Amino acid sequence: MQLFRIPKAQLALALFLITLTTLIQFPLFFVAKIFVFSVLFTVGTELLFLYLRKHMVFVPYAAIVTGLILALTIDPRLPWYGILLISVIATGAKHFIRFSDRHVFNPAAIGLVAGSIILQSTVSWWGVSFQIFTQTPVHTISFLILLLPFLVSGMRMRRFGSIGAFLFTYSVLLYLLNNGSPYRIITDPTVLFFAIVMLPEPMTSPVVLQRQIFYGGFIAIAAVMFSYLPFSRSLFAAHVIPDGLLPFLLIGNLLFFKLR
């Protein structure tokens, strides 16, 4: 089908399959509620902002992808208006924080970080954190489905430099700091989802291979080093920093904006 030759449609399909795997761990109503709210609010605000900016309305594949990412990572305890706020920030940042007609920040990341700070919540990663490779045969299958986005981000969009540099640097640094084996770290489903879905978002990450390597390596170093600062736990506890990875992705987006 012509539809599924579009990279964003392929990524949306992969994320939808990951969403289905959450039914292994969570009730249908729980999953459906977060899924419907996240996608509906994100697509709805995307169409609204396109109208307000007097742009031609089109099938919002990117907004669908953002909505699915939010559905898998947002704090599931949030009320519907909390999900709405995060969706509006994610979509609004893409439309209105722009330079040279390009948005600066990964939409899902800025929505999650800014929304979580405002709402005093955390980034949950609930939809991916349970998919441990060797836990059960069912979890192993869901883990393999978790890797499907790499076929789009890594192979189709050729962002394997960013992904590889991040995973290598992140795992080696944590190993050297006596915080687990590299194998355990790079098979952590949360780290993998971040690396293959959020890190290489095509509009906010470098295209040139050498720059990809610096980009992925920088974000890994920043995230690990910050987690070892003496005041980092206090900032996490106070929700000033709602997550250990996403704020540094946003810093990377900003620093590498001119180096894409």
Using alpha carbons only, what angle is made at residue 51 by residues 47 and 53, rounded to the nearest 5 degrees?
115
Residue 187 has pLDDT above 70, yes or no: yes
- Residue 140 is predicted with a pLDDT of 87
Phi then psi for residue 230, to 5 deg, are -65, -25
Looking at residue 185, what is its pLDDT?
Answer: 85
Backbone angles phi, psi at 103, to 5 degrees: -80, 150
Between the CA of residue 147 and those of 18, 38, 188, 203, 210, what are the distances in Å?
9, 22, 12, 21, 24
For 14-70, what is each residue's pLDDT tens digit? 999 999 999 999 999 999 999 999 999 999 999 999 988 877 777 899 999 999 999
pLDDT at 199 over 70: yes
Amino acid at 54: K
What's the rounded mean pLDDT across residues 204-217?
96
Q: Which domain holds residue 146?
A: 3-259
Predicted confidence (pLDDT) per residue in 64-100, tens digit: 999 999 999 999 999 999 999 999 999 999 999 998 8
Rounded to an integer, the average pLDDT of 115-127 is: 95
Residues 6+ apart with CB under 8 A from 167: 186, 191, 192, 195, 216, 220
More confident residue, 22 or 131: 22
> Structurally, how many domains does the chain consist of?
1
pLDDT digits (tens, 9 = 90+) for 135-152: 678 888 999 999 999 999
Q: What pLDDT, on the 0 to 100 scale, is given for residue 23?
A: 95
Please report, for residues 60, 82, 95, 129, 199, the alpha-carbon distance to residue 12 in angstroms, rounded to integers and kept in the order given.
11, 23, 20, 19, 16
